[in-house]
Amino acid sequence: MKRVSLTQYLIEEQRLNNSIPAELRLLIEVLARACKTISHSVGKGALGEVLGAAESENVQGEIQKKLDIISNEILLQANEWGGHLAAMASEEMETIHPIPNRYPMGEYMLLFDPLDGSSNIDVNVSIGTIFSVLKAPEGMATPTEDDFLQPGTKQVAAGYAVYGPQTVLVLTTGNGVHGFTLDREMGSWVMTQRNIQIPVDTAEYAINASNSRHWYAPVKRYITELEAGKTGPREKNFNMRWVASMVADVHRILNRGGIFMYPADQREPDKPGKLRLMYEANPMALLVEQAGGAATDGKQRILDIQPTKLHQRVAVFLGSRNEVERVTRYHAE
């Protein structure tokens, strides 16, 4: 089999479809290299002294893990000097990170969740890095938080790396979703999946059911119907999976279908759900739509939401189209 590397894919995509300007290609390659470094750290585990909690909290009030901080640092350092970025923002930093004066400023802006699935770090279960790339607004001089507040439709690239039994990078630049497996011996990303498509129907769902007593009626109704199986209104048995790493759950759904949900609930009405719009929901929504699936917050398409805050949370329903459309319909009824 002829091996196509990430570099070759990016260059050929540029030639054929003119969809990846040189600066964006550089950005993606630098990002992919950073993910390789994170993957190496993750793989060391206890031997690299990277497990366990740090002594700090992030802006969400969550205790940071050592690997949250290490991964954040790796991404910042890798992406600072290339001249392709104007600023970065991260789950692990309250405010944006402008490119230091000593480096040239580029036209892209990068957002990331450096380490997704933190609760799985210490138990050797799949975790990942999620990223989203935006263009800086025309005429922007000094980047501010407001410059990042663009709806997900404006993303020029999005993806994730999943650190599982294999390390896999899944990427879209708006022309389909493609997967690259890290060849650890060669240190290169090799295309292993072209044009990933999510089946429109599924018999698998993912939700943290321990929150069920807090759910609103439409979600209760939807899940009750799934649980009822063959003898219920859906006349079909459904299976449940929950990794507690969004990256891993979405990776499964991209590969064999399913619906992933993190709904808003009655606990904090003004902070819907748990996941963050800008660096979790938006990049995943773009990937899922590019793979033929759907992504909503129960009411509207996630990619159409006009963000108002960098760290804002959002309810998430994504995956196989017919199921996402059904649960979204229940919200409207």
Binding site for Mn ion (CB under 5 A): 91, 113, 115-116
Partner whose binding site includes residue 245, from ligand AHG, Mn ion, none (CB under 5 to 8 Å by kind) = ligand AHG
Among 79, 90, 118, 155, binds ligand AHG (CB under 6 A): 118
Of 91 and 297, which has the nearer Cβ to ligand AHG? 91
Among 30, 246, 259, 303, binds ligand AHG (CB under 6 A): 246
From 95-103, 111-119, 132-140, 189-197, span contacting ligand AHG (CB under 6 A): 111-119
Partner whose binding site includes residue 282, from Mn ion, ligand AHG, none (CB under 5 to 8 Å by kind) = none
C-alpha span between 207 and 205 (Å, rounded) = 7
Confirm or reject binding of residue 202 to ligand AHG (CB under 6 A).
no
Of 118 and 282, which has the nearer Cβ to ligand AHG? 118
Partner whose binding site includes residue 65, from ligand AHG, Mn ion, none (CB under 5 to 8 Å by kind) = none
Smallest CA-to-CA distance from 297 within 277, 268, 267 is with 277
Among 116, 147, 204, 265, binds ligand AHG (CB under 6 A): 116
Smallest CA-to-CA distance from 172 within 57, 4, 20 is with 20
Q: What value does the CA radius of gyration of the chain take, rounded to a whole number of Å?
A: 19
Partner whose binding site includes residue 297, from ligand AHG, Mn ion, none (CB under 5 to 8 Å by kind) = none
Token look-up 């290299």 returns 33
- Whether residue 66 contacts residue 53, with contact meaning beta carbons closer than 8 Å, is answered with yes
Classify 295 as helix, strand or coil.
strand
Confirm or reject binding of residue 67 to ligand AHG (CB under 6 A).
no
Confirm or reject binding of residue 319 to ligand AHG (CB under 6 A).
no
Partner whose binding site includes residue 208, from Mn ion, ligand AHG, none (CB under 5 to 8 Å by kind) = ligand AHG
Burial class (CB in 10 A: 0-12, 13-18, 19+), 53: middle
C-alpha span between 221 and 124 (Å, rounded) = 34
From 137-145, 166-174, 243-251, 292-300, span contacting ligand AHG (CB under 6 A): 243-251
Confirm or reject binding of residue 92 to ligand AHG (CB under 6 A).
no
Least gap, CB of 117 to ligand AHG (angstroms): 5
- Tokens of residue 329, six digits: 């319909």
Classify 122 as helix, strand or coil.
helix
Q: Which pairs from 118-122 meet CB under 8 Å and 24+ separation?
A: 118/62, 118/64, 118/65, 118/67, 118/68, 119/244, 120/243, 120/244, 120/245, 120/248, 121/42, 121/51, 121/65, 121/67, 122/51, 122/52, 122/65
Of 6 and 158, which has the nearer Cβ to ligand AHG? 158
Confirm or reject binding of residue 251 to ligand AHG (CB under 6 A).
no
Which DSSP letter does residue 304 get?
A: G
Confirm or reject binding of residue 244 to ligand AHG (CB under 6 A).
yes
Which DSSP letter does residue 105 get?
A: -
Site string for ligand AHG, 19-58 (x = CB under 6 A): ----------------------------------------
- Whether residue 249 contacts residue 283, with contact meaning beta carbons closer than 8 Å, is answered with no
Confirm or reject binding of residue 208 to ligand AHG (CB under 6 A).
yes
Distances (CA, A) of 160 to 25, 36, 98, 113: 16, 12, 22, 9
Partner whose binding site includes residue 274, from Mn ion, ligand AHG, none (CB under 5 to 8 Å by kind) = ligand AHG
Containing H/E element for 289?
helix 282-290
Among 113, 204, 289, 297, binds ligand AHG (CB under 6 A): 113
Least gap, CB of 250 to Mn ion (angstroms): 11
Binding site for ligand AHG (CB under 6 A): 62, 91, 113, 116-119, 208, 244-246, 274
